[in-house]
Structure 1
């Protein structure tokens, strides 16, 4: 992301007076002086972590502001050209020493904040402040974004969204969210809903766009203003992102237009003007994003049709509304142009070129559609070519935009997850000159109110993202610096639970977290509800295999007759056919049997580590261990179901009864595994809403409106019955 910044050379100096080093026994210990620009809020945020770490290490701390002609104990802040610090980039920092002083050097406030937090982290890990290893750290990616959907005017609807309304209007929630984002080095908060504008302003020429009273509008204005301010104070850029073409229900009713996909002159004018007004009224809003699909098709909300919009039509609409609104504002903002179903790289380039915006445009592309937690290989995208990769977005290399991979997570919301090596592999494999970052987040889940966990002694957190703390720490820290060692995450476990070492916990979590990655790589899926890995559900078909329309649960028949997502995985059908033809498995291919062995190894690792960790554990750590056990038995379930699938399909081709008996025996073991999952999860989780109501149209999706593992025991038993038959009915 190219930015127009004044660059700074910033020193954070921590020093002892020399007398401290020569103090005698019984002499009063002098405080450590931490001097910095105390008016700079991002730096203050970072220094607060450093102060706490020093105090916890037994040191007293004295905070001093910068003053002209300050002593060597002060931060020296000078405006310098970037060339004076060629080794540092924006948000980068250097830790070094000058005689007996610790220096943290950066060229902007966010970099200094990160440097202070790095020093604090090392001190918490037991390193003396005078012996921190010198280092220079620059961000690997300039865009490290969280995707958070809003529950009002929400894209998905129903109880899973509505349950968050109160929490998401509470600024305390956002403060905690922003704190963890800054600590984890995220620098963009993207807020998503269908039509955000009428919740932000009373449009000057279209006051009927909402029916809020003056008091209600003032409350909304206070909410957004404080939220954006808090983000800025933590080095985070707030974006609002919507789906085109949409207006509020009040606007549609007053002007007699459709809420979705209405291209009339009044909607076009309103959209352009409201974008400008929002930018002008919220000076700390950093960016606006749009998508070209969803409401830009050939249907109205009443079921009638409109002439289809071509890619050029869609881009023209965007140019005449969103881009025009941005350019008419009294200040620049950044622009996020999503690449999805109805985009065309040539038309997109035309609009971005014509816009001639001062900052680099963001072009977000869904990585493996809605299931980014799968294979790190880009197997499919969400664009106009039905999921096929279109290198027109990056070939030739764009000059005024960069791509960000969207890692959507529709695969685990309840059980804790953390697999650092997967993220490192993902970054290594998908870093390119045209890529400057990642977005991470969900469509069908908001990490706000934790509505899945029972209220018991386990629960020591307030918000859902706090329970999933490792997920955010891993993605944020590794997107900033993929070289961040496991020792950092092990220390987080140790500090959280008072352990001597967090190594065993991280090993167990990493092994447990392979299960949803392996399932999403094996069971090829596309949009949100075509796979829910932790539940072993596929409520809607992804056009990649047979669906029995009996239940959302992935039956043994559906597992057999399904294509893979990862190109190095073999489906059950392909593997059995190769065996029947006595062909050698191609080099580099992962067969269902090899995958099953990997899952079983993961499970054994998890269960061994859990038994080592369980004695003397706190209630919350017991809760973490229960999640790991659940993953372990899900891994065993998946492993034996793969083996059963191979045996059952072999029997159906060969009529070898021994293969059928083996399949039945393995599926009986699967029932034992699922009962363990059910028992463990029922001890601290309750049934939760999953699929939104209007999506439920048939038997396969009906039973997924609400989810618990116990609910699907009959479907696990049904697999045994299917294997006992002579056909696939």
Structure 2
């Protein structure tokens, strides 16, 4: 949204500004108070007044918040000049701003609905913060994406986890998710940044959030954190009242609440009343159905339920999983709707460990809004704005259905990121017609309060306040992707009070290109497979791992093996090479360092902490630049046996060590090492030994030769519906293999230590009676050091 600004002479403005709004609408009150704060910061007094008093203050400066349905009030606006044709057509979440000036100044905010009026009020507050009362605003705005949301993995208790709550951040934040002051601050920030959806992801919320008379012993009393400490005494009645208050507060910020679960997880209900996680257990189905019904009746502000099929459903084939979900969640929803017939419940089915055809066979007649959810960029939103993984889903989705894009950040938990251009391009990459909305968040990290900072300025504060710039980019650009970069620059200037804003903006943007560029090259799709802040996949990823790694599909980047093959064949290379990637990273790092060194900050200030993060990004970029060069040279040595390549590899890896030490030094100044849920301990000093070991690997490199093949299955094969697939992996290797694993469409189907490496319909339900869909088959081998080589093929069932 471009702001057209004219000057209004200061003598028009009086000492006191009256702010008129309907005091019975909490969203209006929130926006009005934001305006009041902005006025105060610019030296103006203001008074909050009810709309009905507006006629008594016609001879005063005023700001008015109202709805376009308030015809009587809009008639007054019309008499003062503005045409109402556009205003009358405002849709949901849309607003119009109008400025009137004669003897007095009036700012009018007219919303298409309550949310739109709130966003318009927040925009006026921002305009005042930027320009005092010297601006004229006659414009409209409406959301580009109607649903802009957060994925919040939430552990409710030591006995009620999210999918993975083993990290220090997750364990520590259990107490905070039972703190109403946290939620009020967090939800206010979400509204400021234009988010209107908050999704909670937890294995089994029911034992902490409802009480079923038939199952009294499943309730979890009090709150115990992830370390086993009792942190709060609460009855189940108090817990219910707490979450009702949270959800009411969210509603009062026009934020919808969704709950997502994985299946089949049962928390403290497991083993009681005949309940087990077996998919054929009827007692479990009855319990889940009653839980869903009671959950929805207890919490009237829940707008949707999301499900997964399933992380713990391997005893069921794809079709059986869908029937299980229908018999539990959908039947529970229908039971609740019998008592609340006007209740609308969105049902969101994740496309994970299942296929569209199986889903629609069971859910095509769902009574209400039915939508998909898909991991849009796998687990790495900070990779590329040009994503291709959803292409097959867009083709398979039935006409008229839409998908929520699960936008996963499992890349960065410490450093502050900020690239408006990347954000804008990423959001514009969604197929808008088939987009229900997006949910941004992590699977292995709770974005609650900060517990990794050595600096008191942020330790114990909310993560959204530390990463405010990042959250603002994704929320504001989701509402309006055409928002000018000047808006973000002014926010930076107001927050940091420095004259070098252009350099700060450019340095931050440039440094933020480093992780995406690295991840496009060192592509490992799912959660724990790639953590670029620590160069980890559970374990540290060595130079050998980089040599055999894949690059991101659609990136146009050659992986090291393919690059070396083209070099050996003396082919002309038009793709992006590993050396091109290394050069890009070096250039990003050098530019970011040059720019940020011109920015002066006081010690311990937020600006200094941001500056340190940008410097850390730059050192990390230089580290990956040299590591990629070293890995490529070592691969060339393996292909040619020319010692010069080995010497070059060692030289680059020695430089990489220097950059890693600089990176670790910055992190050590600012942060505490912590255990992360998916990739283990992030300890930059301890990892320095691994970085050193890369040099020894290069010096002593003897080569390796590993070949993985799928017996009788070729990439691109097409099979008929109803196929029972047999996967037999044939491994040829000159290194000792400890385990062989198999993954189908992201579903981990186990490992084997000895041949035959066989998975079939008899031992793996997912391979039985397969339905229409696209399937990714990934096999991997791992030695006793954790060195892993993958082989991926894709098949279709039609």
- Give the TM-score normalised by the residue count of structure 2: 0.78
Match status 1:35 vs 2:46: no
**8 Å contact from structure 1 (residues 505, 609) kept in 2:** yes
Match of 1:346 among 325, 335, 357: 357
CA-CA distance at 1:478 after TM superposition: 1.0
Q: Counterpart of 1:313?
A: 320
**8 Å contact from structure 2 (residues 279, 324) kept in 1:** no
Distance 1:341 1:193 in 2: 16
CA-CA distance at 1:685 after TM superposition: 1.2
Distance 2:500 2:111 in 1: 32
**Aligned 1:516-555 pairs, distance under 5 A:** 516-539=515-538, 552-555=539-542
Match of 1:158 among 151, 157, 166: 166
Q: Counterpart of 2:128?
A: 123
CA-CA distance at 1:77 after TM superposition: 4.5
Match status 1:88 vs 2:90: yes
**8 Å contact from structure 1 (residues 497, 618) kept in 2:** no
Match status 1:112 vs 2:97: no
**Aligned 1:66-465 pairs, distance under 5 A:** 66-67=51-52, 70=55, 75=65, 77=67, 79=69, 85=87, 87-99=89-101, 100-125=105-130, 127-152=131-156, 153-154=160-161, 155-160=163-168, 161-212=170-221, 216-249=235-268, 251-258=269-276, 260-298=277-315, 309-329=316-336, 330-331=339-340, 332-357=343-368, 360-380=369-389, 389-394=392-397, 396-398=398-400, 401-456=401-456, 459=458, 462-465=461-464
**Aligned 1:13-32 pairs, distance under 5 A:** 21=11, 29-32=14-17
**8 Å contact from structure 2 (residues 68, 90) kept in 1:** no
**8 Å contact from structure 2 (residues 153, 202) kept in 1:** yes
| 1:373-400, Cα deviation, whole Å (9 max, x unpaired) | 212233436xxxxxx8334443x432xx
Distance 1:391 1:97 in 2: 44
Distance 1:83 1:208 in 2: 60
Structure 1, 436-445 or 79-88: larger mean CA deviation: 79-88
| 1:294-333, Cα deviation, whole Å (9 max, x unpaired) | 12222xxxxxxxxxx2332222222222112112213324
| 1:280-307, Cα deviation, whole Å (9 max, x unpaired) | 1212222222111112222xxxxxxxxx
Match status 1:669 vs 2:655: yes
Distance 2:563 2:688 in 1: 28
Cα 1:452–1:618, aligned 2, differ >3 Å: closer, same or farther? closer
Distance 1:367 1:76 in 2: 38
Distance 2:626 2:97 in 1: 51
**8 Å contact from structure 2 (residues 208, 220) kept in 1:** no
Cα 1:497–1:641, aligned 2, differ >3 Å: closer, same or farther? same
| 1:619-644, Cα deviation, whole Å (9 max, x unpaired) | 32211111111110110011111122
| 1:386-421, Cα deviation, whole Å (9 max, x unpaired) | xx8334443x432xx421211111111011111211
Q: Counterpart of 2:779?
A: none
Match of 1:577 among 556, 565, 568: 565
1:47 alignment partner, SS class: helix
Cα 1:69–1:508, aligned 2, differ >3 Å: closer, same or farther? closer
- Give the TM-score normalised by the residue count of structure 1: 0.85
Cα 1:463–1:131, aligned 2, differ >3 Å: closer, same or farther? closer
Cα 1:354–1:220, aligned 2, differ >3 Å: closer, same or farther? same
CA-CA distance at 1:460 after TM superposition: 7.0
Match status 1:719 vs 2:723: no
**8 Å contact from structure 1 (residues 557, 728) kept in 2:** no
Distance 2:601 2:415 in 1: 22
Q: Counterpart of 1:695?
A: none
Structure 1 residue runs of 5 or longer lacking an equivalent are: 1-17, 24-28, 299-308, 382-387, 540-551, 693-703
Cα 1:459–1:648, aligned 2, differ >3 Å: closer, same or farther? same
Match of 2:623 among 634, 637, 640: 637
1:389 alignment partner, SS class: helix
Structure 1, 326-335 or 192-201: larger mean CA deviation: 326-335
Cα 1:440–1:261, aligned 2, differ >3 Å: closer, same or farther? farther
Structure 2 residue runs of 5 or longer lacking an equivalent are: 1-7, 72-83, 223-232, 705-798
**8 Å contact from structure 1 (residues 454, 685) kept in 2:** yes
**8 Å contact from structure 1 (residues 119, 132) kept in 2:** no
Distance 2:381 2:25 in 1: 37
User: Which structure shows the bigger proportion of residues in strand conformation?
Assistant: 2
1:437 alignment partner, SS class: strand
Distance 1:652 1:667 in 2: 16
Q: Counterpart of 1:699?
A: none
1:648 alignment partner, SS class: helix
CA-CA distance at 1:461 after TM superposition: 6.5
**8 Å contact from structure 2 (residues 293, 332) kept in 1:** yes
CA RMSD of aligned residues (A): 2.5
CA-CA distance at 1:86 after TM superposition: 6.3
Distance 1:319 1:84 in 2: 44
Distance 1:624 1:120 in 2: 25
Structure 1, 341-350 or 79-88: larger mean CA deviation: 79-88
Q: Counterpart of 2:632?
A: 646
State how many pairs are aligned.
Answer: 657
Distance 1:526 1:167 in 2: 31
Q: Counterpart of 1:474?
A: 473
**8 Å contact from structure 1 (residues 397, 434) kept in 2:** no
1:235 alignment partner, SS class: coil
CA-CA distance at 1:422 after TM superposition: 1.3
Cα 1:473–1:67, aligned 2, differ >3 Å: closer, same or farther? same
**8 Å contact from structure 1 (residues 377, 566) kept in 2:** no
CA-CA distance at 1:246 after TM superposition: 2.8
CA-CA distance at 1:483 after TM superposition: 0.9
1:562 alignment partner, SS class: coil
Q: Counterpart of 1:701?
A: none
